[in-house]
Chain A
Amino acid sequence: MINIKQLSFTWQKQQINPTIAITSLEIAKGEHVFLHGPSGCGKSTLLSLLAGINRPTSGQLSILGCELGQLSKSKCDKFRAEHIGYIFQNFNLLPYLSPIDNVTLGCQFSKPRQIKALINSPTLNQEASRLLNALGLDEQLHQQNVASLSIGQQQRVAAARAFIGSPELIIADEPTSALDANNRQSFINLLFAQANEVNSTLLFVSHDTSLQPLFNRNIDLVSLQEQDK
């Protein structure tokens, strides 16, 4: 699924210590991986590499057998739109769209994703509704103003948007930092359930190590990088 070899990344050419230096990392399909590390250890940078925003300075980084460093920028964008679902920390939604419209947004920019979304439901809106229900958002909230939803509800909408069209990789970038402990637990369980249903790989990034026990695999980014030094 994800295959990293001798990956290094520096923001500036004259930088002595690379921001990211990973000898090898492999994540298999369907794995739920918890990636943690303190602030500033390069989590976000690694995510930007995985999402194809930045290019590796050297080394290999392939997702689904596709070498990201060799794709053109527009191919990268296309790849991301088709295969990656992304959940932000918070303030995830476009405030001027309804939850349903927020969820279907991804399908508007990617035809393959739209086709995959339509396998489960006859229309995009119905598929969005189905996902929102599965993630525990009441039907009457589906057309409501996004700003009137609670943070927990907004995060569910964001998750539904990442899951629509069943992307192979779900990247969750500290999605629970704004939630309390109970909500955090139930939200992660919902993520797992959805990821299992479509057999997506889940890469969950956080500095909160208390979540560690919930995942079947943990990666400490700091020690992962230190191995190489």
Chain B
Amino acid sequence: MILLKLAISSLYNRRASAFLTLFTIAVSVMLLLSIERVRVDAKSSFSNTISGTDLIVGARTGDIQLLLSSVFRIGHANNGVSWQSYQYIKQQRGVNWTIPLSLGDSHKGQAVLGTSADYFQHYKFAKKQQLRFSQGRAFAHLNEVVLGAQVAAKLGYSLGDSIIISHGMGNTSFHHHNDNPFTVVGILDATGTPVDKTLHIPLAAIEQIHSTNHHTGHEHEHEKPTDLIGNPKQITAFLIGFDSPLYTLQVRRNINQFKNEALLAIMPGVTLRELWEMLTIVEKILLLFSMVVVLVSLLGMLTTLLASLNQRRRELAILRSVGARPWHLFALISIESLLITFLGCLVGCGLFYLLMALAAGYLQSHAGITIIIAMLSSYELMLIGAIMAAGFIVGLIPATRAYFYSLSDGMSIKI
């Protein structure tokens, strides 16, 4: 008890250097926790993007390219799947549902996805969660659009607004489909996936806007689009759900060997994992760096403690003279290093939550990573425990020196 009091008063007496040491440790703890949390949440956001889908089918490219273009809206699919092939595969045994995806258009930089109403029923993310409407309903007519949560929030759209879709990606596109305004009929709940950044329109409408656009002069009246009839010639990709996952491998092989067209079927879970594995090297380097930062901060503490020990010989000698045993001094220095590490970890956790609270919005909108401000996970607690243990072990070095100092110096020290 007296040792704790002495350690606290002594540290308070040297508060400037003690605080700096503590702050260094706090920052390193914050860094380690943040990197760990972003890593875990990035991984889960990533693998939560799509679930419940057994196969993704597109034109033959690489597995990862197909996944990126169809699910993450990154890159372009150069080729599509013909409507005939889509219809053929749809009829296969075991196919429960399919969702056609047609990409390539945009609205103010946000992706436009042409799809069927099945999308709102069968598309699932995270732990097989369905898409939910925060407002409105699914599209039922050609000129209706359903917005992802972020599109609506970012562009300030609400139900009933009228918007115009442009051809191609990017908001600098010259090709605006001015004659086909869409009415917002539904807004989806936030999902933390690319769905939030997507405008959903009926598949037939994609065909409609493109075909009308090909008539350069617009000299004749179009039929007024009223319902969802009309088939496109091609779609970008489609998703398949089976009655039973047992069909997956069989159908996948059939599709990959499909004679009429060069197609590729991938299992999203497998490809997601492959993609993540490509990124693990980055993740490992980040973790390594943050561990080095922790190590450096602990070495900083060691330096401070060792340097202060020299100035504290008199203090330690006084303690010895009033009856403190060598192990008392050993314990005193150990308690000091533990206190610094403990408070450093505590402050570090505080900084970590502050940083997460501040950065959550940014990470969500710019990286699509949903940060969950939750209690520390057992792994994170283990990391903190490891830091505390390392701090304690580092503290044993000056503590051991104090132990022997006191014996050789004793009370005869004269400064």
Contact = CB atoms under 8 A, between A and B. Distances in A.
Interface string B246-271: 00000000000000000000000000
A73 to B, nearest CB: 8
Contact of B411 (A53, A91, A108): A53
A74 B411 CA distance: 16
Nearest to A95: B13
Interface string B303-332: 000000000001100111111111010000
A61 B411 CA distance: 18
A96 B10 contact: yes
A226 B390 CA distance: 56
Interface string B277-304: 0000000000000000000000000000
B358 interface: no
A93 B66 CA distance: 75
A47 interface: yes
Contacts, number: 71
A94 B315 CA distance: 6
A133 B327 CA distance: 34
B322 A81 contact: yes
Nearest to A113: B323
Contacts of B2: 105, 108-109
A45 B411 CA distance: 10
A110 B412 contact: no
B414 A86 contact: no
Interface string A15-46: 00000000000000000000000000000110
Contact of A91 (B328, B407, B415): B415
Given A96-B9, A96-B12, A96-B13, A105 B322 contact: yes
Given A92-B318, A93-B318, A97-B9, A80 B323 contact: yes
Contacts of A97: 6, 9
A113 to B, nearest CB: 7
Contact of A47 (B10, B12, B314, B412): B412
B411 A89 contact: no
Contact of B323 (A53, A81, A91, A93): A81
B410 interface: yes
B415 A106 contact: no
B412 A53 contact: yes
Given A77-B326, A88-B318, A92-B318, A45 B412 contact: yes
Chain A contact patch, size range? 20 to 34
Interface residues of B, number: 24
Contacts of A89: 414
A81 B321 CA distance: 7
Given A48-B411, A51-B411, A109-B328, A91 B314 contact: yes
A163 to B, nearest CB: 12
Contacts of B410: 48, 51, 53-54
A48 B322 contact: no
Interface in A81-125: 81-82, 86, 88-89, 91-97, 105-106, 108-110, 113
B323 A44 contact: no
A156 interface: no
B411 A47 contact: yes
B411 A86 contact: yes
Contacts of A78: 323, 325
Contacts of A96: 9-10, 12-13
B323 A110 contact: yes
A152 B394 CA distance: 40
A93 B319 CA distance: 10
Contacts of B321: 51, 80, 86, 88
A164 B368 CA distance: 69
Given A95-B13, A96-B13, A109 B411 contact: no
Given A94-B319, A109-B2, 13 more contacts: A47-B411, A53-B410, A53-B411, A53-B412, A77-B325, A77-B326, A80-B321, A81-B324, A88-B321, A88-B411, A89-B414, A91-B314, A106-B322
30 contacts: A44-B414, A48-B411, A51-B321, A53-B410, A53-B412, A73-B407, A77-B323, A77-B325, A78-B323, A78-B325, A80-B323, A81-B322, A81-B323, A86-B322, A88-B318, A88-B321, A88-B411, A94-B10, A94-B315, A94-B319, A96-B9, A97-B9, A105-B2, A105-B319, A106-B323, A108-B2, A109-B2, A109-B325, A110-B323, A173-B411
Interface of A: 44-45, 47-48, 51, 53-54, 73-74, 77-78, 80-82, 86, 88-89, 91-97, 105-106, 108-110, 113, 161, 173
Q: A-B pairs with the 8 shortest C-beta distances? A: A81-B323, A53-B410, A96-B13, A109-B323, A106-B322, A108-B2, A96-B9, A86-B321
